[in-house]
Amino acid sequence: MDGWRVVAAWLASLVALADGTGAQDREYDLRVLPAEHQHMTDPQTGAELTFLTTDPAPDANLYFHERSWLADESMVIFTSQRQGGGLMGYLTGTGELVQITTPSGGVGQATASLDRRSVFAVRGKDVLEISFRIELSADPQTAPSKVRATEHHIATPPFASLNSSLNQSCDGQWLSLGFGGYGAGDAGILIIRVADGATREVCRAGIHPASPATSSGAVPIRTC
């Protein structure tokens, strides 16, 4: 009987790891770069403008479906094509920039959390929540601010390709994410419960080979 209990406990631990609940959080410091913002007054309207970045490399805000501001407005999230860029943040208190990455590689497809100081992001096939502890410097030119990240693994969905940015539900309990397509099988949408990583496919668009409605003899179908 004790042997069966050991096996049951082992299987339970595997299930926990599969849905993200058993993965151990880890902490690490993020690199903080000097401010490069530029302030100016619009000559026609008198509006005060702030350019968050001035690096020659292209920088871009997140897509309008995603949240670019942390819930407490302490950081603005964006992406950069500069060397060592990727996902980055602008500290609103000092103007310094933060490189948001992990010891296991870069992250993307991000959106800021609805109600806490964190972002949800994808690294490879893993869906993560990265929380921030920010200590602003009183004099960033001599001593940069400190940003420490806590990485929490939420889920590893069982799909070969995760191809969209994350979106969070209005109640904050679920994330949605696209998968497949672009030569990686049928495209679809899955949802992931933030609390425990439970994953469920909600919609899939495939190809029906018997329909003559297109020149290729196939039309998209959708099952939900």
Q: State pLDDT tens for residues 67-85.
A: 999 999 999 999 999 998 9
Burial class (CB in 10 A: 0-12, 13-18, 19+), 62: buried
CA–CA separation, 84 and 14 (whole Å): 35
pLDDT surpassing 50 at residue 88: yes
3-state helix, strand, coil in the chain (%, to 5): 10, 45, 45
Q: State pLDDT tens for residues 129-141.
A: 999 999 999 999 9
By percentage, how much of the chain surpasses pLDDT 70? 79
A 10 A CB-CB count for 196 gives 13
Per-residue confidence at 143, pLDDT binned at 50, 70, 90?
very high
pLDDT surpassing 80 at residue 147: yes
Contact 24, 33 (CB under 8 A): no
Q: Does the model's pTM come out above 0.85?
A: no
Residue owning tokens 């003559």: 212
pLDDT surpassing 60 at residue 5: no
Sheet holding 108-112, edge to edge: 59-61, 75-80, 86-91, 97-99, 26-33, 146-155, 126-135, 118-123, 108-112
Q: State pLDDT tens for residues 195-224.
A: 999 999 998 876 544 444 444 444 444 554
Per-residue confidence at 183, pLDDT binned at 50, 70, 90?
low
pLDDT at 18: 43
Per-residue confidence at 16, pLDDT binned at 50, 70, 90?
very low
Q: State pLDDT tens for residues 156-177.
A: 998 878 889 999 999 999 999 9
Give the distance from CA 108 to its chain's centroid.
5
pLDDT surpassing 90 at residue 22: no
Residue owning tokens 């948001």: 100
Q: State pLDDT tens for residues 92-131.
A: 999 999 999 999 999 999 999 999 999 999 999 999 999 9
Pairing relation of β-strands 38-41 and 118-123? unpaired
pLDDT surpassing 70 at residue 40: yes
